[in-house]
Amino acid sequence: MRFPVKHFLSYYKPYLTVFLSVMACAFIVSTLTLVFPLLVRHITKDVLEGDLSTALSEVYWIGGLMLVLVAIQNVGNYFVDYKGHEIGALMESDLRNELFAHMQKLSFSFYDKEKTGQLMSRITHDLLLLSELYHHGPEDYVKYLVRFIGAFFILFFINAPLTIAVFCFLPLLGVFALYFNKMLNNALTRNKERIGDVNAQVEDSLSGIRVVKSFTNEHVEIEKFNRENNRFLESRKKTYKAEALLYNSFETIIQLITITVIIFGSANIVNNSLDLADLITFLLYIGFMIEPIQKLTHMSTQFQEGITGFQRFMEIMNLKPAIENKQDAINLTEVHGEIEFRQVTFRYEDHLNNVLDNVSLRVQPGEFIALVGPSGAGKTTLGSLIPRFYDVTDGEVLLDGINVRDIDLQSLRKSIGIVQQDVYLFAGTVLENIRYGNRSARDEEIIAAAKHANAHDFIMSLPNGYHSEIGQRGVQLSGGQKQRLSIARVFLKNPPVLILDEATSALDNESESIVKKSLESLAKGRTTIVIAHRLSTIRNAGRIIVLTEDGIVEQGTHDELLACNEAYAKLYSKQFELPV
């Protein structure tokens, strides 16, 4: 995959003026650094070997100049350090916002396959390393390139043969850099994958901590974590091995350069082709040449980490949502609630079997129907096709006679309310969670929705009423209370179409009775599709649809289907242990 250089550089654009100022400042500071050895050379070679009666005043004058240069350097370094890091942080924030916004657009099919911990690693750790490259990369390369090139010309001016001898070592450095950088890049890529696996394991274990403790399986989770942590440790070891080989190879060559300068420089002094002042200056400038080479290990690591971070960033950004709007998508103005499945076939992946096969069904506006059948028959899948959480493999799903693929996604999903068995409540207050159904709702409307959902009384019994914190996923509430809040949220949304996906199957009898009343209140005047596990909850449905692996095998009222003594009657008898 070609690296998208143009796209990589585009993130500098909003901060280009400040960025160029930082680069200019880094250039000036690095140039001033090169002046100090020249001033030392001037003192040792010209001032101290000239008229000593005037030498002291000239030394003081040069000392004052050095202090001015130090002041300028410090101010410049402060600007580079502060503003440079600020630009890096701003770019990191932009990248994170863009990545998170793109993740919000991706379809259920993406999240079905991805681990949350891996995605968290991409949005946090990867982008932090990338921001370091965005800030330090150009700054370090400008700073060290100026010092390297400047030192070369000054050294060449002092003693050309000795400078050429030093530069003979550079091709060797280049070979080592290319070889070990490739090894380092592979190791760093593995690191990112492994830390993502660690994050995924932590997220999975902590999210299910109540299940872990109820089965006393803490040791199992510790073993699983240790396994992922050890894999990460092994990948880190390989990274450090590559870094050590690169660093020590460079160190060996740098030491050879220093030895070369000392031996050949001393020989030149003996032969009177170099004086001591020039050798001292040469050694000082060798430091400026060696410093970039010494920093190359860190710079190459930073570069590789940043580049792999950007590649992983682009992997997500290049993913197109499986579900997208058409260019001329229709905005719904008034929804009556007629739903039709027309010869619908669906499978989750091309290599998997069909979940639904040639299913046809029509639901009239305001009709209350129930979907029943064995697990795995595709009841929830059928409900997920209406709001286009997934697209049909073949056939059509229509709302008020319009193919849902032709309807604007926001417009479509605003028209549909969903109450699921697995209620998700966000960390925050009761008020905030109900308001999620309509962000512009007033407090009075929220209270009215809670009353409709039979939730007002228990909310008022909480320590701070509607302003009570309910914890992550609503852990401080019972199952029935959480379900009633989710119903209140849908009341506030006020959609014309309602999908109830086994909304009471996980509740006790008392909670089920209360929630059932809330759901019946919610269903009035709406097209309602109930996906039912407990058949006792749908006896009063206008029509019951029996869905099996063979498709729709029966439909009718509760009494009609019992009288037929077929699939529904068998399901009912199994659940209530009645003779057929």
**Residue 580's pLDDT is what?**
44
Query: Which pTM was predicted?
Result: 0.73
Question: From residue 338, how far is each of 45, 383, 408 by CA, in Å?
Answer: 96, 14, 17
Q: Residue 155 has what pLDDT?
A: 82
The span from the CA of 274 to the CA of 268, in Å, is 5
pLDDT at 297: 61
| Ordered structural domains, the chain, with CATH | 5-317 (1.20.1560.10), 330-415+537-580 (3.40.50.300)
Residue 99's identity, in one-letter code, is L
From CA 25, how far away is CA 241, in angstroms rounded?
Answer: 36
Q: Provide the CA 13 distance to its chain's centre, in angstroms.
A: 23
The list of the chain residues with pLDDT below 70 reads 1-2, 48-53, 210-211, 213-215, 293-294, 296-298, 503-512, 576-580
* pLDDT given at position 263: 86
Rg of the chain over Cα atoms, rounded to whole angstroms, equals 36
Count CB atoms within 10 A of the CB of residue 464. 11
Measured CA to CA, the distance from residue 462 to residue 467 in angstroms comes to: 9
Q: Is residue 218 within 8 Å of 205, Cβ to Cβ?
A: no
Separation between Cα atoms, residue 519 and residue 20, nearest integer Å? 61
**230: enclosing H helix or E strand:** helix 218-270
At residue 506, the pLDDT reads 55
What's the angle, vertex CA 500, arms to CA 389 and CA 527, rounded to 5? 90
Record the tokens describing residue 209, joined without a space: 């901590």
Cα pseudo-dihedral 181, 238, 317, 417, rounded to 10: -170
DSSP, residue by residue, 56-92: HHHHHHHHHHHHHHHHHHHHHHHHHHHHHHHHHHHHH
Strand partners, 369: 529, 543
Question: CA-to-CA distance for 520 and 76, rounded, in angstroms?
Answer: 70
Ramachandran area for residue 4 (φ above 0: left; ψ -120 to 50: alpha; else beta): beta
